Structure 1
Amino acid sequence: MNSIRILTAEIPMALAGQRLDRALSAVFPDFTRSRLQDWIKGGAAMVDGMVLPPKHRILGGERVVLRAEVESKAAVQGEAIPLAIVYEDASLLVVDKPPGLVVHPAAGHRDGTLQNALLHHAPQLAGLPRGGLVHRIDKDTSGLLMVAKTLEAHKGLVEQLQARTVHREYLALVQGAMTAGGTVDAPIARHPVDRKRFAVREGGRPAVTHFRVVERFPHHTLVRLKLETGRTHQIRVHMAHLRHPLVGDPVYGGRPRPPAGVSPALGAALRGFGRQALHAAALGVVHPETGDYCQWQSPVPEDFAALLAALRAG
């Protein structure tokens, strides 16, 4: 059974010049762009009291009223799953997610997720969108995530994400020897054939990744990456676009094939690393209540550290 939710928002000035459908996908991240396009075309999105086409270029500051028809879902239940809490106060929570833990319930993962764990730890999060989670990382990516504990904090953190002022740094081990750092400024959209993948495509959503070399190995490179945008699979897609896919990435990096000539121990370590070598190592944000800038760090987890040790041993 479906229900109607009336959602209102003001389009941030930072989105001036964007198409209406892209702007609304940033303002209402819980909904896919295709669904928002359908609602816009059907007159369910009023912009300053007017029905406009999806391609309309917004000025920023417009008020949007969205009649969102959503499918009713069973409430997510809290579960006693261990949490690595890095920071917590009355309005903000920062957790260090282990690899292998799904962030949100979805088809095939209705329970046992980070959201289930958060609702057990702080049941009041049930009253917030997505249980207070304002961003996400892939199941097999480890590292830092921030969680809002109040509606005011949620609004403030989402606005910082939209304004691209949240500091997010990742560590990644990529295939091949990179000679220098740089920036990838390449739009990302769903793959034209495989809808579970993403690709660099003209007309996709803007995506910017900055990277620098941290440590070089004969056939691999450890890089630190800073996200300016937060597209799905952004780092994985951008590194594969540079022909330096992440080690252990089955979607964008192909089958694990250790380079010729490596030691048996290193070959076994590379073949046995069963996830993409990606870790959300640093997170910085203006505290939504105090206004102070806060930053947190997370060391690489044991499996990533062991792989680096094997590379250093040669």
Structure 2
Amino acid sequence: MKVFTAYKITPEHESLTVESYLKQVLLLSGRQLQKLTRQNGIRLNGKRVFLQKKLESNDRLQVMTLADSGYGVQPEPGPVEILYEDDFLLVLNKPPKQLVHPAGRTTGGTLANFLAYHLQQRGLITTVRAVHRLDRDTSGCVIFAKDARSQSLLEQQLKSRSLKRAYWALVQEPPNPPAGVIDAPIGRHPVLPNRRVVTPDGAPAVTHYRTRGTSAGGIALLELTLDTGRTHQIRVHLAHAGCRLLGDGMYGQRTPLIPRQALHAATVSFRHLAANHTVTVTAPLPCDLTKAMNTALVELQT
């Protein structure tokens, strides 16, 4: 049975073609349009319509929901901590030492595998779509979209910076000044393919930071927000600024305080996809980071 969603055309969108509306307003991909066309999944005022038909105010455009046929990953039983869920997305709390999704030789044990099993047990068949990524060692908030359109809308929020992410980090030396912006382009390492470096010909990368506390031994607790989402951005920028991330074996140095990089995706904030309000989700600090903070005697400053 085909399921359609109806959209009433407003004056600001009249004179757009059906194709332009689907791509620019609903953010559907070319591949999705092909599927809809093959399955007669686009109707205008209850009738089949050509993609080049121009829309008029108060037209009723009906678009078929493209059902997923699988999860995209192998469902696997495992713990899933849901911090927030609505009809369009889930926000999960990723533990440290776990990949967001299968990569390289790792095909199982990821957050995506566990989420697929969780959805399967609920009788929901939907492709597991991570809207953004976290490094294996980084803990905290990860957003998963429940369908392709929601993924497109959330990716648009990422691009426009209305989807915001905040991180907590323990660093080996306090930054100077204690608050500021690191604006330094990031590109691939010329020799080591898995690493990134600050380089003039890299992609633009901007990180905002604020010192929230320091210890007698010089360790600092930082709050960081991102304007961009480059691979290893926080780790590379902190190393570039001379305040390396605690426990980071790639860009900093190991420490007995914590067995992984001391980085936590504390909050995500985004516009609700069906209502005009902002949703903010917070992930609690994991035990290893809390222990490291307590050991380092970091005193939070509000």
Give the TM-score taking structure 2 as reference length: 0.72
User: Does structure 1 residue 275 correspond to structure 2 residue 239?
Assistant: no
> Structure 2 unaligned runs (5+)?
1-19, 31-70
Distance of 1:214 and 1:247 partners within structure 2:
15
- Structure 1 residues 111-150: aligned runs within 5 Å: 111-123=108-120, 127-128=126-127, 131-150=128-147
In the aligned structure 2, how far is the partner of 1:219 from the partner of 1:294? 35
C-alpha displacement of 1:235: 0.2
**Distance in 1 between the 2:148 and 2:269 partners?**
20
Asked if the contact 1:119/1:125 (under 8 Å) is kept, the reply is no
2:297 aligned counterpart, secondary structure: helix
Amino acid at match of 1:79: E
State the alpha-carbon separation in 1 of the partners of residues 126 and 118 from structure 2. Answer: 14
Residues 136-173 of structure 1: CA deviation (Å, up to 9, x unaligned): 10010000011111222111101111112211000000
CA distance in 2, matches of 1:76, 1:298: 25
Distance 1:250 1:292, change over 3 A: same
Larger radius of gyration: 2
Shift of 1:89: 1.9
**Contact 2:266/2:282 (CA < 8 Å) preserved in 1?**
yes
Structure 1: 4+ residue segments shifted above 6 A: none
Q: Runs of 5+ in structure 1 lacking a partner?
A: 1-7, 13-26, 29-73, 257-269
Q: Secondary structure of the residue that 1:155 maps to in structure 2?
A: helix
CA contact (8 A) 1:168 1:284 kept: yes
Query: The residue matched to 1:144 in structure 2 has which SS?
Result: strand
Distance 1:236 1:313, change over 3 A: closer
Task: Quote how far apart the aligned CAs of 1:100 are.
Answer: 0.8
Q: Please give the per-residue CA displacement for 1:286-313, whole angstroms capped at 9, x wherever unaligned.
A: 0122232100112211000001111118
**SS of the residue 1:93 aligns to:** strand
**Which residue does the alignment assign to 1:249?**
248
**3-state SS of paired residue (2:99):** coil
**Of 275, 281, 285, which aligns to 1:296?**
281
Q: CA deviation at 1:10?
A: 5.8
| Matched residue type, 1:196 | N
User: RMSD across aligned C-alpha pairs, in angstroms?
Assistant: 2.5
- Which aligned pairs between 1:5-154 and structure 2 lie closer than 5 A? 75-123=72-120, 127-128=126-127, 131-154=128-151
The TM-score with structure 1 as length reference comes to 0.69
> 1:234: which partner in 2?
233
Q: Which residue in the other structure is 1:200 paired with? A: 198
Q: Percent identity, aligned pairs only? A: 41
Task: Kindly state the Cα deviation for residue 79 of structure 1 after the two structures are TM-superposed.
Answer: 0.8
Shift of 1:219: 1.9
Contact 2:219/2:298 (CA < 8 Å) preserved in 1?
no
Cα drift, residue 121 of structure 1: 1.4
1:80 and 1:117 in contact (8 A); partners too? yes
- Structure-2 residue corresponding to 1:182: 180
1:190-209 Cα shifts (integer Å, max 9, x gaps): 11111110011111111000
Aligned length: 232
Query: Counterparts of 2:298 and 2:154 in 1: how far apart (Å)?
Result: 42
Structure number with higher helix proportion: 1
Q: What amino acid does structure 1 have at the position aligned with 2:284?
A: P
